[in-house]
């Protein structure tokens, strides 16, 4: 069904379960490394493989991160909470159960306020609880890497036991037509928040931040919640928005056709931009939770909680509002900054290094963003530091470079040719302002374009641009354009 028609006939209710992989050095219950990218099954031990007789020990740093995340979400922190065994039987969990938190989460009852294109939305938080991650299934022999069409599957248990925080919202009402966009903004908020806390790198392409996106529809005027579906493990901002938009339209078509939505998990097909059915959705009783007998309750003292509260940094939303005011950026300009992951911190660092905010924004969102996209890397990995961008801008402000030459310098710096000043010296890129050299080029341009010169002599001063271009071409873009204009008008006056 067309999305606009859906919005006329139904109200959307969202629910988001976000898994954040914590950046601790060791796993949740053992000393195995959490480093990403190691050879399969090399970061394992009897504890994370669930071998008989092994006993878990809680990672204190993970508990600390959980408390700081809970505080940043506006949650209350439990005075005592415990772990539970969540029974399920999948090959990615070698113990055949997951240690999680059920009825006693470490953080509960919070909220997040979002600004989406000037409109405010509140996302209510039900809980944030600690648990361990599962291993990774790799489906072999097929064309897509998915289980459909594969010949067999292999398991990598390096990720099994890595600390996770799961942040669960209450049902989110009242988003209107903007529901998928609100979900995307919420994910971006959490990503920026946990990075600011230094709790997680939140690299979605590595599964460090992923979302189970729940959605249901209610006919307009109804107060009864519809049957929900849950699209599992969505791992990009674009996919969170796209999967919800697709699922909203799919459910509406089912309901409009007289059918019933099945409560199930679904998988997002990134290439085709559609969801496919997974399995019937379990309820809490299906997991047969019971208290984890090998772990004592966690009881953070109020003193410790307050000590952790004192370590909280300025959160991204407050920081962005402050910097926008200080820099004088419009809402549209700031929206472009937010649309480029990591751009805000890079622009701030460039300003700190001496650049004007507008200039820093121009370079990071223009030339450097283009290079990052071409190379398929994050903006921070483009090969140029904020200090180097500030140095290039200082050379532009001093008249040593123009924007065209500055782009050449940035390209050379990113390619490893050295610092900006060194590149300028070695390539001879400094702008030529010498009257003698420019005078010769000016005269050559006049001689080569007598018709244009006559127009300028006749009073059509705007025609001087053509001669400036001719001079710049002769000088390979290294002439001082304002000086060239001055000399041309002086010669032809």
Q: How many angstroms separate the Cα of 267 from the Cα of each of 91, 137, 230, 248?
A: 18, 15, 8, 14
Q: Is the pLDDT of residue 154 over 70?
A: yes
Q: 426 near 440, Cβ under 8 Å?
A: no
- 100 with 129: CB under 8 angstroms? yes
Helix (H, G, I), strand (E, B) or coil at 377: coil
Compute φ and ψ for 353, nearest 5 degrees: -80, -5
Under the banding of pLDDT at 50, 70 and 90, the label for residue 234 is: very high
Asked if residue 89 has pLDDT above 60, the reply is yes
Instruction: Give the phi and the psi of residue 202 in degrees, each rounded to 5.
Output: 55, 40
Name which of 197, 212, 201, 204 is nearest 67 in CA terms.
197
Does residue 156 have a pLDDT over 60?
yes
> What is the model's pTM?
0.81
Please give the average per-residue pLDDT across 249-268, as a whole number. Answer: 94
- Structural contact between residues 41 and 156, judged by C-beta atoms closer than 8 angstroms: yes
Q: What is the pLDDT of residues 52-75, one digit of tens each?
A: 999 999 999 999 999 999 999 999
pLDDT of residue 338: 83
pLDDT, residue 451, reads 74
285: how many CB neighbours lie within 10 A of its CB?
7
Pick the range with the lowest mean pLDDT from 15-24, 39-48, 171-180, 421-430. Answer: 421-430
User: In terms of DSSP bridges, do strands 76-77 and 107-116 run parallel, antiparallel, or are they unpaired?
Assistant: antiparallel
Among 460, 461, 481, CA closest to 470: 481
- Continuous H helices in 197-271: 237-256
Is residue 29 within 8 Å of 58, Cβ to Cβ? yes
Q: Is the model's pLDDT at 267 over the cut of 80?
A: yes
Task: Quote the CA–CA distance of 132 and 84 in Å, as a whole number.
Answer: 11
CB 148 within 8 A of CB 7: no
DSSP-based three-state secondary structure for 28: coil
Residue 143 has pLDDT above 80, yes or no: no
Place of tokens 């159960």: 97
Q: What is the pLDDT of residue 476?
A: 64
| pLDDT exceeds 80 at position 232 | yes
204 CB contacts (<8 Å, ≥6 apart)? 191, 210, 235, 236, 237
Residue with the two structure tokens 């018709």:
451
Q: What are phi and psi of 293, to 5 degrees?
A: -75, -15
Residue 360: band (very low, low, confident or very high) from pLDDT cuts 50, 70, 90 = very high
CA-CA distance, 321 to 344, in Å (whole number)?
Answer: 11
pLDDT in tens, 201-221: 999 888 899 999 999 999 998
462 C-beta neighbours (distance < 10 Å), count: 9
With bands split at pLDDT 50, 70 and 90, how would you rate the model's confidence at 405? confident
DSSP state letters, 76-116: EEPSSB--EEEE---TT-TTSEEEE-SSS-SEEEEEEEEEE
Mean pLDDT on 476-485: 66
pLDDT band at 117 (very low <50, low <70, confident <90, very high): confident
**Distance between CA atoms of 63 and 168, rounded to whole angstroms?**
17
Beta strands 229-234 and 264-269 are: parallel
* Neighbouring C-alpha atoms within 13 Å toward the C-beta of 239: 22
Mean confidence (pLDDT) of the chain:
89
Query: pLDDT by residue (tens digit) across 448-480?
Result: 777 777 677 767 777 777 776 776 676 666 666
485 pLDDT higher than 80: no
- Does the CA dihedral 408-409-410-413 come out positive or negative? positive
- Answer for the pair 123, 110: CB distance below 8 angstroms, yes or no: no
Q: In what order do the strands lie in the sheet with 76-77?
A: 76-77, 107-116, 119-132, 163-169, 10-21, 209-219, 229-234, 264-269, 274-280
Q: How many other CB atoms sit within 10 Å of the CB of residue 469? A: 14
Residues 6+ apart with CB under 8 A from 464: 456, 485, 488, 489, 492
Amino acid 378: pLDDT? 85
């Amino acid at each position: 069904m067309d999305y606009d028609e859906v919005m006329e006939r139904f109200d959307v209710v969202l629910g988001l379960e976000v898994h954040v992989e914590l950046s601790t050095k060791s796993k949740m219950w053992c000393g195995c490394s959490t480093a990403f990218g190691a050879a399969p099954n090399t970061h394992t031990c009897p504890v994370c493989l669930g071998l008989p007789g092994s006993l878990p020990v809680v990672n204190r740093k993970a508990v600390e991160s959980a408390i700081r995340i809970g505080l940043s979400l506006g949650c209350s922190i439990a005075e005592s909470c415990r772990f539970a065994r969540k029974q399920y039987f999948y090959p990615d969990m070698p113990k055949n159960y997951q240690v999680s938190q059920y009825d006693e989460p470490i953080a509960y009852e919070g909220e997040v306020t979002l600004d989406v294109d000037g409109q405010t939305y509140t996302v209510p938080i039900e809980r944030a609880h600690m648990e361990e991650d599962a291993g990774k299934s790799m489906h072999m022999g097929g064309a897509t890497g998915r289980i459909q069409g594969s010949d067999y599957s292999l398991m990598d248990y390096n990720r099994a036991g890595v600390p996770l925080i799961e942040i669960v919202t209450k049902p989110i009402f009242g988003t209107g037509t903007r529901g998928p966009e609100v979900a995307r903004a919420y994910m971006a908020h959490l990503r920026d928040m946990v990075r600011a806390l230094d709790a997680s790198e939140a690299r979605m392409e590595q599964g460090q931040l992923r979302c189970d996106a729940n959605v249901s529809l209610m006919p307009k005027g109804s107060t009864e919640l519809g049957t929900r579906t849950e699209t599992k493990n969505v791992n990009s901002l674009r996919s969170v928005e796209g999967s919800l938009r697709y699922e909203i339209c799919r459910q509406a078509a089912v309901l409009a056709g007289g059918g019933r939505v099945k409560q199930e998990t679904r998988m997002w097909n990134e290439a085709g931009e559609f969801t496919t059915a997974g399995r019937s959705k379990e309820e809490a009783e299906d997991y047969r939770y019971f208290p984890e007998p090998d772990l004592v309750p966690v009881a953070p003292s109020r003193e410790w909680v307050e000590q952790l509260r004192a370590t909280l940094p300025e959160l991204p939303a407050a920081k962005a509002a402050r910097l926008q005011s200080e820099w004088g950026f419009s809402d549209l300009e700031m929206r472009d900054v937010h649309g480029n992951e990591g751009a805000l911190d890079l622009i701030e660092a460039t300003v700190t290094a001496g650049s004007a905010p507008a200039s820093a924004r121009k370079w990071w969102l223009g030339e450097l963003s283009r290079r990052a996209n071409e190379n398929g890397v994050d903006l921070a990995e483009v090969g140029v530091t904020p200090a180097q961008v500030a140095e290039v801008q200082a050379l532009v402000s001093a008249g040593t470079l123009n924007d065209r030459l500055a782009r050449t310098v940035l390209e050379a710096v990113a390619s490893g040719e050295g610092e900006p000043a060194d590149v300028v010296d070695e390539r001879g890129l400094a702008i030529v302002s010498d009257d003698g050299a420019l005078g010769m080029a000016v005269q050559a341009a006049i001689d080569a374009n007598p018709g244009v010169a006559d127009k300028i002599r006749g009073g059509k001063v705007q025609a001087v641009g053509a001669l400036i271009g001719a001079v710049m071409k002769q000088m390979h873009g290294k002439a001082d354009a304002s000086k060239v204009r001055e000399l041309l008008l002086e010669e032809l006056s």
